[in-house]
Structure 1
Amino acid sequence: MECIKRVDPQKWKEVPLLAELYHNLPTTLRCSTVKNSTLFRKKTDRANTYAYVGYNPPNITRYIVLDLDYCDALFAYYDNNAPLPQFIIRNPENGHCHYVYQLKDPVTFYGRSRSAPIRLLTATEQALTALLNADRGFTGYLAKNALNCNHDTYITGVKPYTLNELSQNLDLESIENPSVAMNDHTYGRNSGTFDAVRVQAYKIAGKLNYTELYNECLSLAESYNNRYDKPMSYNEVKGIAKSIAGYCKSQAYIRSLSELQARKGSKGGKVSKRKPVATSERTTKPWVDLGISQSTYYRRKRKSDSR
């Protein structure tokens, strides 16, 4: 059995893996002291005072977090021949655990993000959820804080995975071709809502200021979210709307839009440009044979045509 080591969360600064975890937490921390409320606080050295945190911002996934909502979940990875997570955070009262898998290359959910990594991320998380019998409705919006002493924190020393490494021995075929709809769970809801709303936002972004655009995105996101059997929390929906509106008003988006319009204009000009006609005056250049300039030739021609 692989070696896992219990560490003291209060001494997280002295544990390199926990210090790295803290460094990777979002600058604006989604956090809470209890399960059923959410606070937004600037990340400080007091991040360990919150029992629950959000490990990922709305538009980036660096950590896959699974909720093993059953007793004796500490060694579930061994019992199910699953990949070893980087962190295991255990409830000391009932043995329930959160498994935290760290990705070497974070997956982004920006407007220009590639869809292939998002699809692989979704399939990988769903496969891990099925393999470990984790809670299918858990979104990872708030999870047990590995830096907080209310929980037992274990580290494994496993290096961060690439998505390909993590998914290598998982049964993705049944996930990619599910017998039941999978889009009501985890990243399916998040990425599905994000993709649907961002497409609509791009169409109206230039006509609205940030507040107006955010409100439109929030309304659209709420509408899509209400279609799911298990809707996301309101704060998660707000996070999606904020991410899209912020990107659409960012300098990066404005630059990309200008570049796109320039490419379209260049392409349009090239397509519409009239090809040379062999018998035209512009091709035969009769003013050369007459020994006069082009402007003189056309000036005389206009006078002649006007008679």
Structure 2
Amino acid sequence: MFVPRFLVKMSSPNPLVRLQQRADEADRLIEYLKQQVQLLKGKAIAQAGVKEEKKLLVENAKLKQDIDALKKQLLEKEKSRGVLDVAVPSVEGGVQCLSHAAPPTPATAVQSPPPKDDNKKKPEKKEKKPQPAAGLEDIKVDVSRLDLRVGRILTAEKHPDADSLYVEQVDVGEPSPRTVVSGLVKHIPLEQMQNRMAVLMCNLKPAKMRGVTSQAMVMCASSPDKVEILDPPGGAVPGERVTFNGFPGEPDKELNPKKKVWEQIQPDLRTDGECVATYKGAAFEVAGKGVCRAQTMSNSGIK
């Protein structure tokens, strides 16, 4: 059958259309390939990350094992030296026993012996010197340790920087008077402090009281409401010692504050029912002169 030529041309596809179609297909193929490449890259990265994570987990486990081994070695070494153990948190958050940092006590410490050196001569043993026996002053604590003397208060005046204190010059039988600071302003009028006899403790360590050094202490019968200076017996003179029947001995040159001798003796110093000053019932006495006493205060402490 005869077909007209112009009809054949019209039925055949246009070459430009075909090229455009192929170009579109090529673009779609290229886009698809790009997507596949990206997917492959992501997959490769993910696989590499997993491998790296597994590698790190293995290395971390090995490090933990090494740490535990080192701790175990340290513990064994410390135990061999006698160091006590204490519980501390471990790496995993549990409780692990580690060595205590404090040094062991001599009674429990186990020290490893030093290496023997056969070439060295053994040191000669030194003979232990006997320790000197404790002095009498460290054993006997009684009133004989106190240097109590008769004294005369020559003058007294108010302390320049303390309203409750007197500053006195007292003759205790020495070449020059001693300065004494006493808290008697509220109890004894100033005029009664002039040129009067008293009993002084003379071997206390000198101490500053508001800037003035006190070299002795005036002995007084004392209660919360009242204070009276002890009177020596008539005829007593400055410097004479006050003694106690049944308590012989020489006083300390100076009482050591650390030994607390005065603090141990003072509670047993009291006036009796007749106002006589006593230590454990033994009177304050001046040989050949008589006893010391308070004016009116009986059964009172003395300080």
TM-score, normalised with respect to structure 1: 0.18
Structure number with higher helix proportion: 1
Structure number with higher strand proportion: 2
Q: Which has the higher contact order (CA 8 A, sep 6+)?
A: 1
Structure 1 or 2, whichever has the larger Rg, is 2
